Amino acid sequence: MNKPTIEEILAPKPEFRPRLYAYSIADATHAGLVKVGQTTREVKQRLAEQLRTAAIKNYRIELDESAERDDGSIFSDFEVRAALVRKGFEKVELEWMRCAVADVRTVLAELRTGQRFSGTHHETFGMRREQADAVDKTFDYYRSIRAENPDTVPRFLWNAKMRFGKTFTAYQLAKKLGARRVLVLTFKPAVEDAWQTDLENHVDFDGWQYLSRASGSDPTQIDRMQPVVYFGSFQDLLGRDAAGNIKAKNEWLHTVNWDLVVFDEYHFGAWRDTAKELFEGEDEAVAKKEAGIEYGEGLEDMNEDLTVLSEKETEFLPITTRAYLYLSGTPFKALATGEFIEEQIFNWTYTDEQRAKEAFAAAHPGERNPYGALPQMRLLTYQMPDELVAVASAGEFDEFDLNEFFAATGTGAGARFMHKSDVQKWLDIIRGGHAPRAVEHLKTGTRPPFPYSDVRLLPYLQHAFWFLPNVAACHAMANLLAERHNTFWHDYTVIAAAGAAAGIGLAALSPVRRAIGSGFETKTITLSCGKLTTGVTVPQWSSILMLRNLKSPETYFQAAFRVQSPWSIRNPNGDDPNEEEVLKPICFVFDFAPTRALRQLSEYGIGLSPGEPNPEHAVRDLVSFLPVLAYDGANMTQIDAGGILDIAMAGTSATLLARKWESALLVNVDNDTLRRIMDNPDAMAAVERIEGWRALGDNIIETIINKSEKVKALKNKAKDKELSAKEKKELSDEEKEYKSKRKLVQEKLIKFATRIPAFMYLTDFRENTLRDVITKLEPDLFLAVTGLTVQDFHLLVSLKVFNTEQMNQAVFAFRRYEDASLRYTGIESHSGLAHYGLYDTVVAKD
């Protein structure tokens, strides 16, 4: 792929307006008939070209109206004709209807003011190649597992980004499995919209029944002869009452033998961490309230020990099923910890999608591209002026602190920014109106593309999502934008989708859709601090402004991908089903904390390719389809993968690197890993040589496993009956003891891991990956520094005692940091290493 220029990155947005028309012909053959069609061009021009070929001049345009509903969706001429037929009017041929123009206007009014049709099963599109691959791979895996052991319940993960079509494809899998009872569970009730729409609109699922709490249907009264899908939240369906019993209203759920259980938005399994990430900056009480609003009722009733669902399915889910399917766009934790092995995973990433889009266009010129409506993303970062950075800089390296900068107090009309004057300067900057900066641009002769000033960017900001730190900041921003002097912003309808008043789940989406409408005439800004960042689709959103700190790349890109939803018109002129007008070919992420933004991007790229030995290659693969422009205060330049990693790690210190080697993520001490050690005499001998291990006592691993199994048995017993006081004390004591011992084992393994940086400082060759560390030609030095032989370490790595993906990142960070330090003194420690693969590097060394 050729590197795009800045002008190509800032390509103008195409303009299309869908129109519906009707015309008549003044002759005996067409008496009493009108032809109903559609186009994205001028109706007069379209009909002149269409009828010129047949030399028809006696036609009259009877109707020329917008094809937009009040809720923002677009309806087609096909739907108009179908509605006329339902009213009893005759379809004579093709688009010709025997009716009056007034009848067409009546149908248009009904379509425009009514809701989108549901349950009509009118969609006929088939699966894309990658969707069919996902279904086939999963089906084959399920079948192979059941063949080996009919009692085993197989599990499979789809690591598929947003817009893959997980709901539609999951239904296709259920159909191929012959599933009659499908249960869909999620922590995010707002994703229900997609699950219901896909089932009720596609012809492949005609006859299937959709049930949920929101639908109001009685699940005990379903048609047992037809397939059924029940959608619900973990909180509602699997939560328990105060006595620890299954809620009476959900008892039916546990009596059904499910054919397939689907966990949607699986990365939210560790909901406590996610809630903290989304709502950090609030005090504990407010954060808990916000999490409850965002995730729905009953969240606090969930199992406190729930961190990885798949490890506790039978404990957490007292239901029966033939198979589990996990869906996630960012399952980085599951991938990094080896929770699913390679044959249990189907991957479809943003890079895969954009590569397929490019390949199809090259191989099939002139044909409709099935990926053509999926926008390519661009990331634009901006270094703020020193005067604003000084207001809110924090952290070890004094980075621009977005949470502090946009700190606010109060709610509703009383909300105000703590640094209101500075936030006002920021508003002036992003529309190119900040006087000091304007003078600088005159001196340099350059005018960088600020979001709300550059004419190439403005069309993509017609409907934007602003991601702020908390509810107070959202309300304060709405108030500031509405102030009298901010006339520029008065053209935009501002929706504060934050706080209890904004609604729960899908209720928060309705005001946004009403404000946007069709999206052609309106201009909107949606303010959110967590709502609407997962599982919802607003096609008109074309840009997002990141105005808060986010620690995890999962949360960052979950929000960023909200603006990557397709917006297009199929068969725009009504005469070519293969034609498609793409209204949003690209979309934008704007970030005002450059180092943090590029750190998120690099971590995301590395997370997408956990098996890639060189992180720079992983990031390069991502940015080939996600160009990055960075404004440094004077110029806007494009940055490559190496530059992204350098900026992302700017300010990295030896102290910070040391912390990476003290992380609990580096080692695995779950029961499965401990069993693998215990079952391997060489591995047992190796861990016993780790400094301080023997002080833990004899049979420490066996003790941990036995006690944790005992705790599990007691908890299972507690589900069926009340434990005695003695049993409750025993449960508490055993649980405390095994957790304490497991932590001690973890600490010993981490202490060993901290020896690896010391080895890297001493060795003559600078490493690129963990495998480099254990395959270098200095075994005596490795033994002297770490206390283990290279063979010992290699064995423990193969047993997944150490998390190789996390260690690779730590090794790479070390190399990057040391390179920069040496380069500063004029030394190139290992020129060209980043351009070699693992084994190339070893051969080059030899």
Tokens of 617: 């290659």
Helices (H), 679-830: 681-688, 700-720, 725-753, 755-762, 770-775, 779-786, 790-798, 804-824
Q: Which residues pair with 497 in a beta bridge?
A: 528
Return the percent helix, strand and coil in the chain, to nearest 5.
Answer: 50, 15, 35
Mean pLDDT of the chain: 77
The most confident of 583-587, 636-640, 655-659, by mean pLDDT: 583-587
Q: At 638, is the secondary structure helix, strand, or coil?
A: strand
Query: CA neighbours within 13 Å on the CB side: how many for 515?
Result: 22
Share of the chain above pLDDT 70, in %: 71
How remote is the C-alpha of 688 from its chain's centroid? 42
Answer with the residue of higher pLDDT: 525 or 334: 525
What confidence tier does 281 reach under pLDDT thresholds 50, 70, 90? Answer: very low
Answer with the residue of higher pLDDT: 383 or 633: 383
Q: Is the pLDDT assigned to residue 271 strictly greater than 70?
A: no
Opening angle at CA 46, ends 40 and 47, nearest 5: 135
Q: Is the pLDDT assigned to residue 613 strictly greater than 70?
A: no
Q: Closest Cα partner for 334 from 279, 268, 260, 275? A: 268
Q: What are phi and psi of 298, to 5 degrees?
A: 85, 5
Q: Comparing 35-49, 334-348, 672-686, which segment has the lowest mean pLDDT?
A: 334-348
Within 10 Å of residue 679's Cβ, how many Cβ atoms? 10
672-713 per-position pLDDT tens digit:
888 888 888 888 888 888 888 878 888 888 888 888 888 777
Cβ atoms of 600 and 556 closer than 8 Å: yes
Q: Is the pLDDT assigned to residue 736 strictly greater than 60?
A: yes
How remote is the C-alpha of 325 from its chain's centroid? 18
Q: Closest Cα partner for 205 from 222, 226, 231, 185? A: 226
The most confident of 350-364, 475-489, 602-616, by mean pLDDT: 475-489
536-546 per-position pLDDT tens digit:
789 999 999 99
Segments of 442-565 assigned E as strands: 463-467, 493-497, 524-528, 543-546
What confidence tier does 259 reach under pLDDT thresholds 50, 70, 90? Answer: very high
- Residue where the block lists tokens 């037929």: 85
What confidence tier does 278 reach under pLDDT thresholds 50, 70, 90? Answer: very low
DSSP 8-state code for residue 340: S
| Interval 29-50 mean pLDDT | 85
Number of H-type helices and E-type strands within the chain: 34, 28
Helices (H), 464-593: 471-482, 509-516, 553-560
What confidence tier does 816 reach under pLDDT thresholds 50, 70, 90? Answer: low
347-402 per-position pLDDT tens digit:
898 889 999 999 999 998 878 898 999 999 999 999 888 788 888 875 544 568 89
Pairing of strands 628-631, 376-382: parallel
Tokens of 44: 């007069």
CA distances to 130, 384, 443, 595 from 634, rounded to whole Å, are 43, 11, 10, 17
Which H/E stretch holds residue 641?
helix 641-648
As a whole number of angstroms, the distance between CA 191 and CA 343 comes to 28
Which H/E stretch holds residue 770?
helix 770-775
Angle (deg, nearest 10), helices 594-608 and 615-623: 100
Q: Is the pLDDT assigned to residue 420 strictly greater than 90?
A: yes
Cβ atoms of 572 and 491 closer than 8 Å: no
646-682 per-position pLDDT tens digit:
666 554 444 444 555 666 667 888 888 888 888 888 8
Tokens of 280: 């950090």
As a whole number of angstroms, the distance between CA 135 and CA 152 comes to 20
What confidence tier does 214 reach under pLDDT thresholds 50, 70, 90? Answer: confident
- pTM equals 0.65
- pLDDT at position 746 is 83
- pLDDT at position 396 is 47
- pLDDT at position 174 is 96
As a whole number of angstroms, the distance between CA 714 and CA 730 comes to 9
| Interval 508-529 mean pLDDT | 90
What confidence tier does 246 reach under pLDDT thresholds 50, 70, 90? Answer: low
- pLDDT at position 36 is 92
Answer with the residue of higher pLDDT: 807 or 314: 807
DSSP assignment of 642-703: HHHHHHHTTT--HHHHHHHTT-GGGB--SHHHHHHHHT-HHHHHHHHTSTTSGGG-TTHHHH
83-142 per-position pLDDT tens digit:
898 888 888 887 899 988 888 888 888 887 664 444 456 677 789 999 999 999 999 999
Q: Is the pLDDT assigned to residue 463 strictly greater than 70?
A: yes
- Residue 445 makes CB contacts below 8 A (sequence gap 6+) with none
- pLDDT at position 577 is 61
How remote is the C-alpha of 168 from its chain's centroid? 17
As a whole number of angstroms, the distance between CA 835 and CA 72 comes to 49
The one-letter code for the residue type at 549 is N
CA distances to 14, 271, 276, 351, 801 from 365, rounded to whole Å, are 20, 45, 48, 21, 50
What confidence tier does 419 reach under pLDDT thresholds 50, 70, 90? Answer: very high
- Residue 86 makes CB contacts below 8 A (sequence gap 6+) with none
Q: Comparing 187-201, 356-370, 820-834, which segment has the lowest mean pLDDT?
A: 820-834
Q: Which residues pair with 377 in a beta bridge?
A: 587
- pLDDT at position 176 is 95
- pLDDT at position 817 is 55
Within 10 Å of residue 171's Cβ, how many Cβ atoms? 26
| Interval 165-186 mean pLDDT | 93
Q: At 458, is the secondary structure helix, strand, or coil?
A: helix
Q: Which residues pair with 257 in a beta bridge?
A: 320
Q: Which residues pair with 294 in a beta bridge?
A: none
Q: Comparing 406-410, 613-617, 635-639, which segment has the lowest mean pLDDT?
A: 613-617
| Interval 196-207 mean pLDDT | 86
| Interval 46-50 mean pLDDT | 80
Opening angle at CA 384, ends 383 and 390, nearest 5: 125
Compute the chain's Rg from CA coordinates.
Answer: 30
CA distances to 782, 830, 846 from 764, rounded to whole Å, are 12, 10, 13
Tokens of 792: 């010992």
Answer with the residue of higher pLDDT: 561 or 41: 561
- Residue where the block lists tokens 């699986």: 266
As a whole number of angstroms, the distance between CA 477 and CA 492 comes to 13
Q: Is the pLDDT assigned to residue 261 strictly greater than 80?
A: yes
Cβ atoms of 565 and 539 closer than 8 Å: yes
Share of the chain above pLDDT 90, in %: 21
What confidence tier does 822 reach under pLDDT thresholds 50, 70, 90? Answer: very low
Q: Is the pLDDT assigned to residue 433 strictly greater than 80?
A: no
Query: CA neighbours within 13 Å on the CB side: how many for 22?
Result: 25
- pLDDT at position 129 is 92
CA distances to 198, 390, 407, 526 from 547, rounded to whole Å, are 33, 17, 11, 13
Q: Is the pLDDT assigned to residue 591 strictly greater than 90?
A: yes
What confidence tier does 310 reach under pLDDT thresholds 50, 70, 90? Answer: very low
- pLDDT at position 40 is 82
How remote is the C-alpha of 211 from its chain's centroid? 26
As a whole number of angstroms, the distance between CA 828 and CA 822 comes to 7
Helices (H), 98-203: 101-113, 129-148, 166-177, 192-201
